[in-house]
């Protein structure tokens, strides 16, 4: 057993009548990169604020490396880095001054605070802007400052609330690389609205809605819940004709024509790709595209959070 762990036990947060987080229980261990998914208002940020000791739970508890986040808040916080939603506070402070301030509040003094701040500046590629007030930085740089303060004390548990939200594609890529580089010996929890991000970064995914845990699975397991999993999609001339021919296949359960694409869904356990490529060849259909579907995460997300079948 590793000493690295997060354990949430019936964690709840009520705001008056509103139940933002409703008896959430889960455990996370070393090497896990957990993606937190859920619609707006699902309770992701509230859960992260409780885990990081910024918000007391209404009921339940959580342990970080065995330290209770309420009873032993300081010890729990010491092993954690937290990137809150949005931009870091203290916008009027220059980057280096802010990071030195954070280093001191993390217990580094004098020279070591300066050294840690400089190291964080290096790691997050902030060396072109150390004297610039944070509020005058672009979104991407602000996010890097946020990440710099989160990792400054080299925590083994990282809680990142929408780390790539609002960044351009290059910066998204850069932040994902950074997170991936750090992930091997840590626990990382990331909230995101970008479903592909879960596939790119995480080895576990949780979907929450209305403060409740709905799904806890691997990204592959999540995608396999899609009704598109193992389906075959074609773009072909005369699709109606092809659809009616393909619906005769014993392996096909259903054929759908949507927005110019023809999708064939397999019967339980049946493999479609080979029989369909054979049929295409035999009939000389004019196919411009043919693909085996892994599944569609957006559809799984909708299905799980709204009970909707597309
Ligand atoms: N301080 C507060 N007072 C009252 N209600 C709050 C407070 N903070 C959050 N809430 C409510 O709690 C619920 C959960 O909010 P939370 O910010 O945790 O959701 P989220 O999953 O992070 O959403 P998003 O994807 O939009 O960031 C929402 O209904 C929100 O309006
Ligand atoms: Mg949020």
pLDDT single digits (tens) 51-89: 999 999 999 999 999 999 999 999 999 999 999 998 667
Which domains does the chain carry? 5-223 (3.40.50.300), 232-293 (3.30.70.100)
Q: Which residue has the CA at smallest separation from atom 29 of ligand 1?
A: 41
Cα-to-centroid distance, 269 and ligand 2 (Å): 39
Q: Is the pLDDT of residue 126 over 90?
A: yes
Mean pLDDT of 1-15: 89
Q: Is the Cβ–Cβ distance between 262 and 236 less than 8 Å? A: yes
Percent residues over pLDDT 90 in the chain: 84
CA atoms within 13 A on the CB side of 129: 20
Q: Which residue has the CA at smallest separation from atom 1 of ligand 1?
A: 15
pLDDT single digits (tens) 137-147: 998 899 999 99
Q: Is the pLDDT of residue 195 over 60?
A: yes
Percent residues over pLDDT 70 in the chain: 98
Nearest ligand to residue 38 Cα = 1
What angle in degrees, to the nearest 10, is found between the helix axes of 95-105 and 110-123? 120
Q: Which residues lie at CB < 5 A from ion ligand 2?
A: 44-45, 85
Q: What's the order of all strands across the beta sheet hosting 18-29?
A: 18-29, 5-15, 59-64, 67-68
Q: What is the pLDDT of residue 308?
A: 58
Q: Which residue has the CA at smallest separation from atom 4 of ligand 1?
A: 15
Measured from the Cα of 16, ligand 1's closest atom is: 4
Cα-to-centroid distance, 68 and ligand 2 (Å): 23
Closest CA to 50 of 66, 68, 36, 38: 68
Cα-to-centroid distance, 8 and ligand 1 (Å): 19
The whole-angstrom separation of Cα 189 and Cα 46 is 13
Cα-to-centroid distance, 185 and ligand 2 (Å): 26
Question: Kind of pairing, strands 187-191 and 157-161?
Answer: parallel
Q: Is the Cβ–Cβ distance between 198 and 272 less than 8 Å? A: no
Q: What is the pLDDT of residue 247?
A: 96
Q: What is the pLDDT of residue 2?
A: 55
Q: Is the pLDDT of residue 114 over 60?
A: yes
Residue that wins the pLDDT comparison between 7 and 123: 7
Going by C-beta distance under 8 Å and a sequence separation of 6 or more, which residues neighbour residue 221?
Answer: none
pLDDT category at 1 given cuts 50, 70, 90 is: very low
Mean pLDDT of 139-167: 92
DSSP-assigned states of every residue in 53-117: TSS--SEEEEEETTEETTTTHHHHHHTEEEE-SSS-S-TTSBHHHHHHHHHHHTT--HHHHHHHH
Q: What is the pLDDT of residue 89?
A: 75
Residue 188 CA, chain-centre distance (Å), reads: 10
Going by C-beta distance under 8 Å and a sequence separation of 6 or more, which residues neighbour residue 41?
Answer: none
Pocket of ligand 1 (CB under 6 A): 15, 18, 20, 38, 40-46, 85
Q: Which residue has the CA at smallest separation from atom 27 of ligand 1?
A: 40
pLDDT single digits (tens) 208-255: 999 999 999 999 999 999 999 999 999 999 999 999 999 999 999 999
Q: What is the pLDDT of residue 310?
A: 47
Q: Which residue has the CA at smallest separation from atom 26 of ligand 1?
A: 40
pLDDT single digits (tens) 261-301: 999 999 998 999 999 999 999 999 999 999 999 999 999 99
Mean pLDDT of 178-195: 91
Question: Per DSSP, which regions of 100-218 are E strands?
Answer: 157-161, 187-191, 204-209, 212-217
Measured from the Cα of 211, ligand 1's closest atom is: 14
């Amino acid at each position: 057993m590793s000493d690295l762990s997060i354990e949430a036990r019936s964690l709840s947060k009520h705001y008056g009548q509103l139940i933002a987080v409703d008896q959430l229980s889960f455990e996370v261990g070393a090497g896990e990169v957990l993606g937190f998914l859920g619609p707006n208002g699902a309770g992701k940020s509230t859960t992260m604020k409780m885990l990081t000791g910024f918000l007391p739970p209404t009921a339940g508890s959580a342990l970080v490396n065995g330290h209770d986040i309420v009873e032993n808040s300081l010890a729990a916080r010491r092993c954690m880095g937290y990137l809150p939603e949005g931009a870091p506070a203290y916008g009027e402070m220059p980057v280096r001054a802010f990071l030195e301030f954070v280093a001191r509040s993390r217990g580094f003094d004098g020279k070591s605070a300066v050294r840690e701040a400089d190291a964080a500046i290096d790691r997050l590629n902030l060396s072109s802007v150390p004297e610039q007030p944070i509020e005058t930085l672009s979104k991407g740089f602000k996010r890097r400052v946020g990440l710099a303060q989160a990792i400054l004390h080299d925590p083994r548990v990282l809680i990142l609330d929408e780390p790539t939200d609002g960044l351009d594609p290059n910066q998204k890529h850069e932040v994902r690389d950074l997170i991936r580089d750090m992930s091997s010996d840590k626990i990382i929890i990331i909230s995101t609205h970008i479903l592909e991000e879960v596939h790119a970064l995480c080895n576990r995914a949780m979907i929450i809605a209305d403060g409740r845990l709905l799904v806890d699975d691997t990204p592959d397991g999540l995608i396999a819940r899609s009704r598109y999993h193992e389906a075959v999609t074609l773009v072909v001339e005369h699709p109606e004709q092809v659809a009616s021919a393909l619906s005769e296949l014993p392996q096909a359960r259903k054929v759908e024509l949507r927005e110019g694409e023809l999708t064939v869904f397999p019967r339980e356990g049946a493999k479609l790709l080979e029989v369909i490529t054979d049929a295409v060849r035999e009939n000389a259909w004019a196919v411009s595209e043919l693909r085996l579907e892994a599944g569609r995460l957006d559809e799984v997300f909708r299905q799980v959070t709204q009970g909707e079948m597309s």
